[in-house]
Chains A and B, each alone.
Chain A
Amino acid sequence: MLICRYIFNGDMLKIFNDFHRKGWLLYLVVVGFCFFITTITSCKKDEPASSPVITLIQDSGFVYRDSILAVNQKITIGITAGGSDAVITYLGIRLETESKVTNLLDSGIHVRSLRYTRQISKGASNTERWIITVMDKNRHQTSVTLTFTRDPNSGFSPISHYPSIMLGAQDNSFYPHCFSVIGGATLANDSATLHQEMADIFYYYNQGGGPPAYLCTFSSPGENDAPTFYPFITNWTIRNSTYYNLETTVTLQDFRDCTNDSLLLAAYDESVGKRKFKNAVADNIIPFKTQSGKNGLMRVLTAIASPQGYIEVEMKVQK
């Protein structure tokens, strides 16, 4: 009330009008205006800039120098990165061979420092250049390169051939739903639960209603939709992921002629691996790679498309 009386009874107006008549207000407006402009247009300091530093992990069991490796030889490489004033936002791994360049990992991250390890197996090509790149938020990049040359004395490895694997869809009570690549056997639900580390491939038929419909589907315990069809997977402590290529140039004749793992290594493209192979039909050839690093090829022989149906495949996989 006091404020209202002060405003409306004229005291404030009198002071205000005095101020107004003497032109002080205009002066104040101009000074205030200049101050305002100076404040809002003042410059900011640029952020300091330095590039991240990558160090190859030299612990026991890690390969950290250019080396000669046998085909399919498994090794572990790793890096630590940090030292930049800015956070690290990208980790990339590129594999360059004589015939192609593949981005194996393009991962967005947001960390001050980083330790990354990866188990790799030497492919069929003569030379592999593994380029690991780290970039910070200021787009400063640093890369390290490891070159692995194929041991001329090493040959391709033998493979396992399974002429007929029968996998039932989720409502099929006759055939098991799971296949173990390591064990070379189909697994009933109880056996799979008991040997979770061996379960690599699950098959289900998805006609929609939950996840989008994609019919005859190869999956794995680690795939997101698999527990919808096999709820017991939810409680598993080990959930392997198998990755499938949706497209391949491998022909039926190539598949038939394959007697060692050279085709299996060449056929699978790690950069486009998906955790589902959807809409499988007869004569599909499907390159895949298991969590344990085994490359393989599957040929679909028969697909009975229903929740009670089954799928029959022929498989060639690294031993």
Chain B
Amino acid sequence: MIKKFSLGIIAGFISGLFAAGGGMIVVPAFVHIFKLNEAEARATSVFAILPMVITSGLFYYNNNYVDWSIGIKCAIGGIIGGFIGSKLLKKLSDKVLKIIFIMFLIYVSIKMII
């Protein structure tokens, strides 16, 4: 129980602070610590993160950080992208995607810190 609560607090804190990255903490923790398989870990993580996102969203909304025009355009694109992703996934190798993702992360994180 302590493990579950500490994981929730840490993931919630990151979700609130950066509005992202909760899944990148929860999914590996579910797989390595709680021994869920990959599909269960992803499914359970989305369920667990939704309340964190709604909570954080209220704070951002109250501070006028929500821009509906950008948000709705992105969300519509996101729905289409989700569909493309589910088709494309079967064709692209996991490793290639991961390497592209890592290079992208290195580039932007340096850009953000400097």
Are A and B subunits of one complex? no
Please report B residues at the A interface, Cβ cutoff 8 Å. Answer: none
